[in-house]
Amino acid sequence: MDIAGMLSPPYGLVSLFGLSLLASTLVPLGSEWLLILLIVEGYPAPTTVAVATLGNSLGAVTTYLIGIFGSDVLTRRVLRLSAHDLHRAGTMYRRFGVWSLLLSWVPIVGDPLCLVAGALRTPLPLFLVLVPLGKVCRYSALAFLTLQGLR
């Protein structure tokens, strides 16, 4: 399948979901480029934002669960988080508390923040409010800027 076929409905949204999920877990990728491309190709912005937010949030839950149940091997080998990344995330989490989870979308510190939240046993319902809220704000801002650029 070529790139045009991957972007045709429903593959574009499925691809966005998968890339968003992977981007917040195992693979050092970004999903923003695909969100922008899909909007430029005519996909509805609210739908693309919702799909990207859901995928990215579920990926963050995976990282959170690794923080609760995982080992140092998972943290370092699978997530590829360095001691420095974890220290920086831990410092931010201790300083700002659970509110730092609103920044779970930020490159470099976002994934470690989710891991630290799990390791510190942040209540899952609170995690499930703050993390998607931060992610939907980021994707909404990208969608808004993309739509402004198309005018």
Report the C-alpha gap between 127 and 148 in whole angstroms: 32
Residue 3 confidence (pLDDT):
58
pLDDT of residue 131: 97
**Residue the block writes with tokens 């995690």:** 127
pLDDT score at 126? 96
Pick left, alpha or beta for residue 121 (phi over 0 → left; psi -120 to 50 → alpha; otherwise beta). Answer: left
> Is the predicted pLDDT of residue 52 greater than 80, yes or no?
yes
pLDDT score recorded for residue 108: 78
